[in-house]
């Protein structure tokens, strides 16, 4: 699984499609565009939502601000 810079992760997957799955990395849930993630998944570019770095923003895994992201992961079955 590769994440980090999203465009770089997409280039890695394009070069080696059977070797990598692409994730979307974030640390602040307020910066996440859920519609963008949904569109990227529907376009078969986004395989997972992660790597979660919320702990670096001092956000606990059970913080309610993460719920919309977890709900989207459940909706997309990823």
Residue by residue, DSSP assigns 1-48 as -B-SSHHHHHHHHHH-TTT--BEEEES-GGG--HHHHHHHHHTT---E
Express each pLDDT in 33-50 by its tens digit: 999 999 999 999 999 987
Predicted pLDDT of residue 41: 96
Predicted pLDDT of residue 35: 96
Predicted pLDDT of residue 64: 93
User: With 90 as the cut, is the pLDDT of residue 25 above it?
Assistant: no
Q: Look up the pTM and report it.
A: 0.84
Q: Look at 74 and 53; give whichever has higher pLDDT.
A: 74
Taking residue 13's Cβ as centre, other Cβ atoms within 10 Å add up to 18
Predicted pLDDT of residue 30: 83
């Amino acid at each position: 699984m590769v994440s980090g810079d999203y465009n770089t992760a997409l280039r890695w997957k394009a070069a080696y499609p059977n070797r990598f799955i692409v994730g979307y990395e974030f640390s602040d849930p307020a910066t996440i565009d859920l519609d963008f993630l949904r569109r990227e998944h529907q376009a078969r570019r986004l395989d997972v939502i992660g790597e979660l770095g919320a702990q670096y923003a001092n956000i606990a895994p059970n913080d309610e601000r993460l719920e919309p992201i977890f709900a989207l992961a459940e909706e997309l079955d990823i």
